[in-house]
Amino acid sequence: MKELQERIKKDGIAVNEDILKVDSFINHQVDPVLMQHIGEAFAEHFKDQGITKVATIESSGIAPALMTAMCMGLPMIILKKQPSKILNDNLFQTEVTSFTKGTSYELTLSSKFVSEKDHVLIIDDFLANGEAATGAIRLIRKAHATIAGVGVLIEKAFQPGHEKLVSQGFDVYPLARISHMAKDEIEFLED
């Protein structure tokens, strides 16, 4: 998606070869027009696949997942990183390790919001090693739902996440694929 690539070039900050800051338009301050276009792109790619719900991991994936769900006319599920004090019954949980933050967290989903009848599209902001997406897939499968695919805004194509998910048979659709990053340097794979 050229619009996203241009915005990353203009406002993204490559801190080093692993960290890309997009907090001015994706995950701290959100550009709603860009998010609408992102939602439209994901909705177009995944249309006619029998998707019943869109899911994301809190919190950076919420804006693009919500816009995707809105474009598709579907509910959105937020997979929680912190177990709620009031949501403690009928939960599915799995542990996920964040590559970027170097920490682990318990990903949680209430059984009230997903069932074996659901075909779920996962949306996330980044794909690097694929740990977050794999955790989301594991969690949704615990509810016996099926996975329609994984849409990501920014893929670090130089890391193994894409291949890891594709080798398991998932449709992975990145909107911007970064081939190389270094301090103040970002290069994209062209489609």
- Which 3-state string (H, E, C) describes 38-75? HHHHHHHHCCCCCCCEEEEECCCCHHHHHHHHHHHCCC
Q: How many CA atoms lie within 13 A of 39 on its CB side?
A: 25
Cβ atoms of 143 and 107 closer than 8 Å: no
Cα radius of gyration rounded to whole Å, the chain: 16
156 is an annotated ligand-binding site residue: yes
Residue 112, classed as helix, strand or coil, is helix
90 is an annotated ligand-binding site residue: no
128 is an annotated ligand-binding site residue: yes
27 is an annotated ligand-binding site residue: yes
41 is an annotated ligand-binding site residue: no
129 is an annotated ligand-binding site residue: yes
69 is an annotated ligand-binding site residue: no
143 is an annotated ligand-binding site residue: no
Closest to 133 in 3D by CA, of 150, 155, 145, 111: 150
Closest to 130 in 3D by CA, of 108, 102, 150, 115: 150
Per the annotation, binding residues are 20, 27, 128-132, 156
Per the annotation, binding residues for xanthine are 20, 27, 156
Per the annotation, binding residues for 5-phospho-alpha-D-ribose 1-diphosphate are 128-132
